[in-house]
Amino acid sequence: MVEKLFKLKENGTNVKTEIAAGITTFMTMAYILAINPSILSSTGMDSTAVLLATCLASFIGTVCMAFMANLPFALSAGMGLNAYMAYTVCGSDNLGYSWQVALLAVFIEGIIFIILSLTKVREAIFDAIPLSLKRAVSVGIGLFIAFIGLQNAGLAVSSSTLVKLTNFRENFNTTGICALLAVIGLLIMAVLYIKRVKGAILIGIFVTWILGILCEITGLYIPDADNGVFSLIPSFKMTDFSSISKTFGQCFNVDMNAVGIFNFAVVVFSFLFVDLFDTLGTLIGVSTKAGLLDKNGKLPAIKPALMADAVATTAGAVLGTSTTTTFVESSAGAAAGGKTGLTALTTAVLFLFSMLLAPIFISIPAFATAPALILVGFLMFSTVSEIKVDEKNYTSAIPAYLCVIAMPLFYSISEGISIGVISYVVINLACKKYKEINPIMYILAVLFVLKYIFL
């Protein structure tokens, strides 16, 4: 039965290898179960509901990947996409929409991707964007996520220069010790990752949390609930599965008159843009790692893989989480020998089981998850070395640079994308490099300019 479903022999693998690879993939990406509720709860969403929605969406998406595409890829709430939803779409200093509006945008994005996945439109849009900007989006999101991590850790604080390093000695027993623990956690995580320890990020999160509990027991950390400093010791209570009702179906509870069709369309397009490159880039990267590309460098099962991703996004929005997408950490499972959907199915089952541990995951403090954000930021930032910077490539390198710096400095992924696209078209037009501009880029640039005029 298993052989017939996943064609193990044909792919040169076996059940033991596939299951081990699935466990490896889960261990490397399970940190999202601690981070996603932490990020999305800043919008007013219930933490337990977000975690349960994340588990279910991950299960549904990864099962679809297993049976529809027979690929060893796992899906969950995408890093960067959840930050975009929380801090740009719902952030009071940016668009300031409700989380229900954001979920509706994610739902519609998923529906559009389901339609596009039946055609070659999704790949055509991807091909229209210059490679430098594709890489710049990843780099910029990495910096943005890292900046959020520094803030969540209490390391980067506001000042007369807009931001500065925190004073560790000030309020040492509350915010000071948390910032110090975040630094220690980051170093532990980095060393584990460099040594290629499976689940390095997840282990780092729990070690940092345990160190915090020890600090509380010894009196170095003093809870102060009145000032938002809570006890670090988990309650180990049973999971309240009814919490999912607080987010389930809320994407349909939106007053569109209060948002505006054009404003809403911009949000949907931004989600589409970021998810488009994140998914296709991840699929290509992990497929290369697993040796799944054909002699022409293409992934034969890319259509069902994109469909699985789109279904997961749509289901996740209904359940109550940000865009669900293919995770680059799937490469860990591929490196462990995973080649078929059995690897993905194993990971999916583990995500479903994780629902029982919801109270533990949502009790993890921000200073323990912040180092993970910083390290994930580094992993995304590493793409910067692939952006060519010389006199022959200035017309593409400068827009890429503007895209990268705009995201963290303007605290918005969409601003970085907008500035990158507009500057690319304008600079190449001014330098008479018309052949460098795909016709679709003109359309994108005009749409972004209209956004700044009318929003």
Which H, E and C letters describe 187-232, residue by residue? HHHHHHHHCCCCCHHHHHHHHHHHHHHHHHHHCCCCCEHHHCECCC
Check residue 380 and give its pLDDT: 80
Check residue 19 and give its pLDDT: 92
pLDDT band at 313 (very low <50, low <70, confident <90, very high): very high
Residue with more model confidence, 23 or 376: 23
pLDDT, mean of residues 401-429: 90
pLDDT band at 230 (very low <50, low <70, confident <90, very high): confident
CA 38, 107, 282, 433 torsion-angle sign: negative
Are 416 and 410 in contact, with CB atoms under 8 Å apart? yes
Q: Which of 106-115, 214-223, 267-276, 320-329 has the lowest mean pLDDT?
A: 267-276
The encoded tokens of residue 395 equal: 């017309």
Check residue 264 and give its pLDDT: 86
Distance between CA atoms of 380 and 363, rounded to whole angstroms?
27
Residue 65 has pLDDT above 90, yes or no: yes
Residue 81 has pLDDT above 90, yes or no: no
Highest mean pLDDT among 65-69, 301-305, 335-339, 363-367: 65-69
pLDDT, mean of residues 51-56: 96
| Average pLDDT score over the chain | 87
Q: Which of 54-68, 226-240, 333-347, 436-450 has the lowest mean pLDDT?
A: 226-240
What percentage of the chain exceeds 90 in pLDDT? Answer: 43
Residue 284 has pLDDT above 70, yes or no: no
Residue 214 has pLDDT above 90, yes or no: yes
Residue 226 has pLDDT above 80, yes or no: no
Residue 410 has pLDDT above 90, yes or no: no
Check residue 314 and give its pLDDT: 96
What percentage of the chain exceeds 70 in pLDDT? Answer: 95
pLDDT band at 211 (very low <50, low <70, confident <90, very high): very high
Distance between CA atoms of 281 and 304, rounded to whole angstroms?
16
Beta strands in 263-367 (DSSP E): 324-326
Residue 297 has pLDDT above 80, yes or no: no
SS (H, E, C) 234-281: CCCCCCCHHHHHHCCCHHHCCCHHHCCHHHHHHHHHHHHHHHHHHHHH
The encoded tokens of residue 261 equal: 């069709």
pLDDT band at 190 (very low <50, low <70, confident <90, very high): very high
The radius of gyration computed from the CA coordinates of the chain, to the nearest angstrom, equals: 22
pLDDT, mean of residues 124-149: 82
Cβ atoms within 10 A of the Cβ of 220, count?
16
Are 32 and 304 in contact, with CB atoms under 8 Å apart? no
Residue 182 has pLDDT above 90, yes or no: yes
Amino acid at 450: L
Check residue 369 and give its pLDDT: 85
Check residue 277 and give its pLDDT: 66
